[in-house]
Amino acid sequence: MKGKLGFELTEQHMKKLSMIVTVGDGVYRELMQEGLFAHKYFTNVKGSLYTKLIQRQCEIESRDKDFQFTFTEREFGYGHIIPELQLPNLIMHFGRSQSADQLPHKAAHKVELSNANHPVYRQLRINTDLEPPHESGPYYAIVTFGTKYSLDFITMQFPAPGYFGIADSIVLPLVADEKGEAETIKRKKAILKKEVASMSEEGVS
């Protein structure tokens, strides 16, 4: 599929993004069920842990030689680092939200990156019949996920300039609903949990 804003987002791209979120989400929920973070001292860090597990899964997936995106890391003050995926003319981050119609929390880098989305507004549609209009990319999208009790949505949101709303969005498929994916998800979750356990042991030592 060729977007009329000048970047190509294929079905495989969308499935990979959904797989990253699905695996990280699954590991988070298993850790919560196991009670590893049940203590009251962890109450206000659970949301951050949720996002960080998905970001870590993104980093793990990027090691695959057939990974379909360019993987980099964006570093901020105080050692804060997040993964960044790129396609030609498109930058993507991951972020948790309360709903598919609500942006993740605001941050200075999100506002800055959203300013490249001026041509989007409600014009972005995957459509091979239209030529790309004037572009000011790279465009900025956030792969957004959430809900309290289950993974109900994964949406690629294009923030409006200034991060004042959603210019447009693309609903991504929930890979857990597809036949043949259960074993892949189980295997990937085991790898992520092993890496999380390894990080915990390193932190204690």
Whether residue 109 is contained in a domain is answered as yes
Confidence bin at 1 (pLDDT 50/70/90): very low
Mapped onto helix, strand or coil, the DSSP state of residue 146 is strand
Q: Report yes or no on 1 lying in a domain.
A: no
Extract the tokens encoding 139.
């465009």
Residue 98 within a domain:
yes
- Taking only the tens place, the pLDDT of each residue in 67-98 is 999 999 999 877 889 999 999 999 999 999 99
Q: Distance between CA 18 and CA 87 in Å, rounded?
A: 16
Structural domain range at position 88: 11-204
* Strand 81-87 relative to strand 70-75, pairing: antiparallel
| Number of structural domains in the chain | 1
Pair type for strands 90-97 and 139-146: parallel
Is 144 among the domain residues? yes
Its pTM stands at 0.85
Percent of the chain exceeding pLDDT 90 equals: 53
For residue 94, what is the enclosing H or E element? strand 90-97
- Tell me whether residue 6 is in a domain: no
Q: DSSP secondary-structure letter at 65?
A: T
**Averaged confidence pLDDT in the chain:** 84
> What is the token pair recorded at 46?
């659970």
| Cα distances (Å, whole numbers) of residue 145 to 32, 47, 94, 103 | 17, 12, 8, 10
Q: Which two tokens stand for residue 91?
A: 């930058």
| 21 φ/ψ angles, rounded to the nearest 5 degrees | -65, -45
pLDDT tens, residue by residue, 140-176: 999 999 887 788 899 999 999 889 899 999 999 888 6
Nearest CA among 143, 148, 147, 173 for reference residue 158: 143
Q: Flag whether pLDDT at 127 surpasses 50.
A: no
Query: 4 lies in a domain?
Result: no
Residue 2 lies in a domain: no
24 — pLDDT class (breaks 50, 70, 90): very high
Q: Euclidean distance between the first and final Cα of the chain, in Å?
A: 49
pLDDT score of 5: 63
Q: How far apart, in Å, are the Cα atoms of 130 and each of 5, 21, 66?
A: 9, 31, 30
Residue with tokens 């900025």: 140
Q: Does residue 196 fall inside a structural domain?
A: yes
Query: Which residues are paired to 82 by β-bridges?
Result: 74
Query: What is the per-residue pLDDT for 136?
Result: 62
